[in-house]
Amino acid sequence: MNKFYSVFTGTGSYVPSRQIKNEFFHHCEFYDAAGEKLLTPGEEITRKFEEITTIAERRYAGDDETTSDLALIAARRAMEAAGVDKEELDYIIFAHNFGETASDNIRIDVLPTLAARLKRKLGVANPSSVAYDVLYGCPGWVQAVIQADYYIRSGDAKKILVVGADVLSRVADPHDRDSMIYADGAGAAVLEARESDSPVGVIGHNSRSDALEYANMLHMGYSYNPRLAEKRDYYLKMNGRRLYQYAIENVPKTIKAGLDKLKLHISKISKVLIHQANGKMDDAILKRLFKLYDLKEVPEHIMPMTISWLGNSSVATVPTLLDMIMRGNMDGHTLRSGDNIVLASVGAGMNINSIVYRIV
């Protein structure tokens, strides 16, 4: 008896045009967590930053763009690629972390939900098209795809739009060195039910949350600059060293656990699309993943990367990677029918997830 599987029938992304190179930060005043101004020259700070993260530039949203504006473009591109009628969507699931971030107000705005705003901007009139948000840190889009897969496998839905968008540039403390990591962007995909007598599309997934010890590694706090802190605005804060260690210890185990559920060996994986958080961290994660299989050599081109020129756009990194490969816009990276790929992410919570997807 054939089963229904969740298949990506269209992908889309939006990379803002405003290009911010590391030189942009040379004249910034940076402070440490104790509120002490750093005396290290900006050129040296950015040079060390690039060595640690591999990030040379990133993209910021335009002053006239909000989070749902970015999502709208990505969603339209995904729906156009899928050839779906917007009124046929059973669900619109929107993953984000900071709501409708605008240039003139950094306060978090989540009422109405971003999914409701996107549904309105798309002009979807169908009341049976259920729109809701997912807050799950950087792995939000991957987790939203997992939820969509459950709806499709249960027979509750046939067509689902899953969107991820964040504008981190406006919630990052301009006086915190970590702010150079963050970027803006949006990615989307349409999942549709596909009847098949063999597994295709989303064939498995795995998630975990480690809140007891690690909940506060990413949190909101006042600016490191004492003068700006007096305004009592909240900014995104990160314990980078502990987060790095947590990720390289736990992401490989989470991915392997997902593969083990399917009795699938890492040698059968063609691509690993991982959240673009830190270039060197992602390299370390991949090496540790292969080490779990007693493999010292990591296949070349298995892990496509965009972080060096797009930065970390949170929930948008994985769907943007997927879209760029699907559209043939990543040199050296192609996908063929039958290929198994992993989509994985890690972030605030702390949360980790992974999906195993078989190309149709």
The DSSP secondary structure of 308-354, one letter per residue, reads: HHH-B-GGGHHHHHHHHHHTT-STT----TT-EEEEEEEETTTEEEE
Of 146, 168, 196, which residue is a domain's last?
Answer: 196
Looking at the structure, do residues 81 and 170 belong to the same domain, yes or no? yes
What pLDDT score was predicted for residue 1?
55
Q: Tell me the CA distances in angstroms from 153 to 148, 168, 288, one per residue in order.
A: 9, 34, 32
Looking at the structure, do residues 167 and 274 belong to the same domain, yes or no? no
* Contact indicator for 130, 92 with CB cutoff of 8 Å: yes
Looking at the structure, do residues 48 and 181 belong to the same domain, yes or no? yes
Looking at the structure, do residues 215 and 68 belong to the same domain, yes or no? no
Looking at the structure, do residues 213 and 173 belong to the same domain, yes or no? no
Nearest to 141 by CA among 207, 235, 236, 238: 207
Looking at the structure, do residues 13 and 149 belong to the same domain, yes or no? yes
Of 175, 196, 217, which residue is a domain's last?
Answer: 196
Residues of the chain with pLDDT under 70: 1-2
DSSP strand pairing (91-95 vs 18-21): unpaired
Looking at the structure, do residues 184 and 260 belong to the same domain, yes or no? no
- The count of structural domains within the chain is 2
Q: CATH number, domain at 152?
A: 3.40.47.10
Structural domain for 101, as ranges? 3-196
The model's pTM is 0.95
Nearest to 348 by CA among 78, 166, 127, 125: 166
CA distance 230 to 74: 37
* DSSP H or E segment with residue 18: strand 18-21
Q: What are phi and psi of 234, to 5 degrees?
A: -95, 140
Looking at the structure, do residues 219 and 103 belong to the same domain, yes or no? no
* Contact indicator for 181, 142 with CB cutoff of 8 Å: no
Looking at the structure, do residues 142 and 14 belong to the same domain, yes or no? yes
Looking at the structure, do residues 233 and 174 belong to the same domain, yes or no? no
Looking at the structure, do residues 129 and 116 belong to the same domain, yes or no? yes
Structure tokens at 298: 């990591």
Looking at the structure, do residues 239 and 145 belong to the same domain, yes or no? no
CA distance 115 to 93: 6
Of 196, 219, 249, which residue is a domain's last?
Answer: 196
